[in-house]
């Protein structure tokens, strides 16, 4: 690269797409180097949409190291309408303090979203994970606002094609592969462009 | 000693209005054959109705008038309810019939940040309770009462200034017969000061000891012990609604008043409520119970009201309610909280608990739970639903999936091998689990970790009993 270009690139007037705008508080270490290098960890105070290509590929396990870290905090880790029983022995083995976990079952879809919003907004949760039956653009807006207010890690899971395509969610990640070879595609992130798919490798022991 | 008198000048009418405003303008009458207006609502006053007017004259001015006979027992009830609420400011509260409370505040000044701060807190909180109030402060209880009754909203802290103020009050402050007032008037004696300057023995001869006694007590020259109001051992407060109500918001408006009373009661006992019971008395004689359970005792009126609101919105109201009763069947001591600049762990736990309570109030108790481990080899019994926040001892480090199915699902076989979205490849196992022969839920299984072609990983088992069937029990998500 020529010296002239080099000088130009080092002046503050030039913004380079590869530099992520620094956004708010430091991320929560995910436990995966590739993830932390690209995204700076899980973002507290920003809503994350996780799209799992299918069930059983480690889509929950990718979060467990971060949840284990967060559970050292006095705050709750709220699981709202998980599709199955969050299995206590597995969470415990991953290092999550069960005394911080609270599971919420809401029969009606509106109640589930309400619970998520309350948990996110209250500031008494370090992480809120939701499995909403439906998600609308308006609901995402509300949840994002609540996430900012409570400075909580807010994650909701959807299936491919279930969430609205245009939505104000700041982070959208798609999880593929299998549990011992997890691949995360960053479809959308705050303050940054595209990134190559992240290979996290084995997210759990099998 | 410093006394604060809280006078409720509009008590006769407010005794009817506390729970909400009725449709038609309300007046309170003396009752009897020729009822006179004792008090009237603003809407009636605007129409020209005044205290002392006969009821028939008032009807002529405003035919849609809602006239009620004065209910002194309801007024007494209001005073006692207010006394309960006032216990948050001082432990010594006395009811001074017919329309006042006396609070000994000398010992409370420091806690509430001085006299002015205390008075404004009392004022503000009293208006939320649904009463107009007049406040006066004096070194003697009767002095404070007179100042308040005469609408002299002053705070007097020493006896000289008190004497100065009292001297100018009209003699009608005194508790005396009408005849005595008439003869005082004939003598040209209008103020307490004029009366006090007359020769004592002459006054005693003419009016007896009573008048001078009152002046002496008001000035502090004679002791004036007050009977302290003692709170009941159990809180229960009832409020009749002005008209039958079925809307949750109207019920909450009334409940708010009762919650504030409860707050005073709890502060006096340095306690918080663990369980709240709101009874809605229906028109048809039935009753609906609304119960709120708390995980940490609280006396924060906003929090309690929020919980009641959520619970009410989830309750099927069986018709319209005529009255509500708030009870605190379960009360626990509250740990005193020290002022701290750093958020402490106990405080964080308390904050956490409010979220659980809020969610439970709307979704029901069972909808929110924590997780705990249980030492049982059978996977479905190795965990329990627990109260959120319960500590649990770590179990053996066994490889387990993040999701467990509520009930194992039977797998289809293809060529004798289990399938789930395609053929399953065994990648680990077996782990043999045999247990539970003693309680009838015995288990004899071989567990495997298996994966299908698309990469999804499952926890499956084979029944070792006769059938040898395959089941899906968990998902490595």
Does B354 lie at the interface with A, CB-CB under 8 angstroms?
yes
Is A123 in Cβ contact with B351 (below 8 Å)? yes
> Quick check: B268 and B88 in contact, CB under 8 A?
yes
Interface subset of A 147-206, CB within 8 angstroms of B? 177-181, 204-206
User: Could you tell me the residue ranges of all domains in chain B?
Assistant: 3-16+71-219, 236-342, 403-475
Size of interface A-B (CB pairs under 8 A): 167
A151 contacts in chain B (CB < 8 Å)? none
Partner residue opposite A206 with nearest CB, options B349, B399, B475: B399
What CA–CA distance (Å, rounded) separates B320 from B317? 8
A85 contacts in chain B (CB < 8 Å)? 383, 403-406
Q: How many beta carbons lie within 10 A of that of residue B51, not counting itself?
A: 13
Does B402 lie at the interface with A, CB-CB under 8 angstroms?
yes
Beta strands in B84-130 (DSSP E): 93-96, 100-104
In this structure, which CATH number among 1.10.10.10, 3.30.1490.100, 3.30.360.10, 3.90.110.10 belongs to the domain B236-342? 3.30.1490.100
Segment (H or E) for B350: helix B345-363
Q: Counting beta carbons within 10 angstroms of the beta carbon of residue B127, is it exposed (0 to 12), middle (13 to 18) or buried (19 or more)?
A: exposed
A60 contacts in chain B (CB < 8 Å)? 402-403, 477
Does A6 lie at the interface with B, CB-CB under 8 angstroms?
no
> Quick check: B420 and B458 in contact, CB under 8 A?
yes
Domain spanning B3-16+71-219: CATH superfamily: Reverse transcriptase/Diguanylate cyclase domain (3.30.70.270)
Is B457 in Cβ contact with A206 (below 8 Å)? yes
Partner residue opposite B356 with nearest CB, options A74, A102, A180: A102
Does B477 lie at the interface with A, CB-CB under 8 angstroms?
yes
Give the list of residues 6+ apart from residue A172 with CB closer than 8 angstroms, or none. Answer: A48, A49, A51, A186, A187, A188, A189
Distances (CA, A) of B393 to A90, B373, B390: 14, 7, 10
Does B342 lie at the interface with A, CB-CB under 8 angstroms?
no
Shortest alpha-carbon distance between residue B350 and chain A (Å): 10
Sign of CA dihedral A160, A163, A166, A169: negative
CA angle B369, B375, B378 (to 5 degrees): 90
> Quick check: B50 and B62 in contact, CB under 8 A?
no
Partner residue opposite B402 with nearest CB, options A60, A178, A180: A60
- Would you give per-residue pLDDT tens digits along chain B (477 residues)? 899 999 998 898 888 887 777 778 888 988 888 888 888 888 888 888 888 888 888 888 888 888 888 888 888 888 988 898 898 888 889 998 888 999 999 888 888 888 888 888 888 888 888 788 899 999 999 999 999 988 877 888 888 899 999 999 998 888 888 888 899 989 899 999 999 999 999 889 988 888 899 999 999 998 989 988 888 888 888 888 878 888 888 899 889 989 988 988 888 778 889 899 999 998 888 888 888 888 888 888 889 999 999 888 888 777 888 899 999 988 888 765 554 455 556 667 777 888 999 899 889 889 999 999 999 999 999 999 999 998 888 888 889 999 999 999 999 998 889 999 999 999 998 999 998 888 888 899 999 999 999 999 999 999 988 788 999 999 999
Which residues is A175 bridged to in the sheet?
A52, A184
> Quick check: B352 and B389 in contact, CB under 8 A?
yes
Suggest the residue from B358, B360, B402 to mutate for an interface test with chain A (most A CBs closer than 10 A).
Answer: B402
Q: Could you report the per-residue pLDDT of B184-239, keeping only the tens digit for each?
A: 989 899 999 999 999 999 889 988 888 899 999 999 998 989 988 888 888 888 88
Before B98, cis peptide (omega within 30)? yes
- Hey, what are A195's tokens? 């990134």
Is B394 in Cβ contact with A56 (below 8 Å)? no
């Amino acid at each position: 690269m020529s010296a002239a270009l080099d000088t130009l690139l080092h002046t503050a007037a030039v913004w380079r797409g590869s530099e992520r705008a620094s956004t708010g508080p430091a991320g929560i270490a995910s436990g995966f180097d590739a993830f932390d290098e690209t995204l700076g960890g899980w973002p507290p105070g920003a809503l994350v949409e996780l799209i799992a290509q299918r069930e059983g590929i480690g889509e929950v396990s990718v979060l467990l190291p971060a949840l284990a870290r967060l559970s050292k905090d006095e705050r709750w880790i709220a699981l709202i309408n998980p599709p199955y029983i969050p299995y206590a022995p597995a969470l415990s083995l991953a290092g999550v303090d069960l005394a911080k976990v609270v599971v919420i079952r809401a029969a009606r879809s509106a109640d589930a979203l309400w619970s998520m919003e309350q948990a996110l907004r209250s500031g008494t949760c370090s992480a809120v994970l939701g499995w909403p039956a439906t998600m609308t653009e308006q609901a995402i807006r509300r949840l994002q606002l609540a996430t900012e207010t409570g400075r909580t890690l807010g994650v909701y899971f959807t299936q491919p094609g279930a969430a609205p395509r245009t939505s104000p969610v700041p982070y959208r990640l798609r999880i593929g592969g299998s549990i011992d070879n997890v691949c995360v595609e960053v479809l959308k992130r705050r303050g940054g462009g595209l990134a190559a798919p992240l290979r996290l490798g084995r997210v759990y022991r099998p | 000693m410093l006394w604060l008198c809280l006078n409720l000048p509009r008590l006769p009418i407010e005794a009817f209005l506390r729970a909400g405003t009725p449709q038609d303008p309300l007046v309170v009458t003396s009752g009897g054959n020729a009822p006179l207006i004792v008090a009237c609502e603003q809407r009636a006053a605007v129409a020209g109705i005044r205290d002392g007017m006969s009821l028939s004259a008032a009807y002529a001015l405003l035919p849609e008038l809602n006239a009620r006979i004065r209910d002194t027992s309801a007024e007494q009830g209001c005073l006692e309810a207010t006394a309960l609420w006032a216990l948050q400011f001082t432990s010594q509260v006395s009811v001074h019939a017919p329309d006042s409370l006396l609070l000994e505040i000398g010992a409370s000044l420091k806690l509430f940040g001085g006299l002015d701060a205390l008075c404004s807190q009392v004022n503000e909180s009293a208006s939320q309770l649904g009463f107009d109030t007049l406040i006066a402060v004096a070194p003697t209880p009767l002095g404070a009462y007179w100042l308040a009754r005469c609408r002299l909203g002053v705070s007097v802290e020493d006896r000289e200034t008190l004497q100065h103020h009292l001297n100018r009050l009209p003699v009608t402050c005194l508790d005396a017969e009408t005849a005595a007032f008439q003869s005082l008037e004939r003598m040209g004696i209008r103020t307490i000061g004029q009366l006090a300057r007359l020769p004592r023995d002459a006054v005693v001869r003419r009016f007896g000891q009573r008048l001078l006694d009152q002046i002496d007590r008001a000035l502090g020259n004679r002791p004036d012990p007050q009977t302290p109001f003692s709170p009941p051992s159990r809180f229960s407060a009832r409020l009749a609604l002005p008209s039958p109500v079925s809307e949750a918001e109207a019920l909450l408006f009334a409940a708010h008043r009762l919650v504030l009373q409860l707050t005073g009661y709890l502060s006096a006992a340095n306690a918080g409520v663990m369980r709240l019971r709101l009874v809605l008395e229906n028109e048809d004689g039935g009753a609906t119970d609304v119960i709120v359970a708390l995980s940490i005792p609280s006396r924060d009126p906003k929090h309690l009201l929020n919980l009641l609101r959520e619970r009410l919105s989830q309750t099927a109201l069986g018709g319209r309610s005529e009255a509500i009763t708030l009870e605190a069947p379960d009360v626990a001591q509250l740990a005193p909280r020290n002022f701290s600049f750093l958020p402490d762990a106990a405080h964080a736990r308390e904050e956490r608990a409010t979220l659980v309570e809020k969610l439970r109030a709307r979704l029901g108790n069972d909808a929110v739970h924590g997780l705990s481990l249980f030492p049982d080899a059978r996977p479905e019994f190795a965990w329990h639903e627990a109260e959120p926040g319960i500590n649990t001892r770590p179990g053996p480090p066994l490889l387990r999936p993040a999701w467990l199915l509520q009930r194992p699902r039977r797998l289809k076989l293809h060529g004798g091998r289990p399938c789930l979205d395609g053929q399953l490849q065994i990648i680990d196992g077996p782990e043999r689990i045999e247990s539970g022969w003693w309680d009838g839920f015995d288990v004899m299984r071989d567990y495997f970790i298996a994966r299908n072609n698309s990469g999804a990983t499952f926890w499956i088992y084979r029944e070792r009993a006769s059938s040898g069937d395959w089941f899906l029990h968990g998902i490595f998500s």
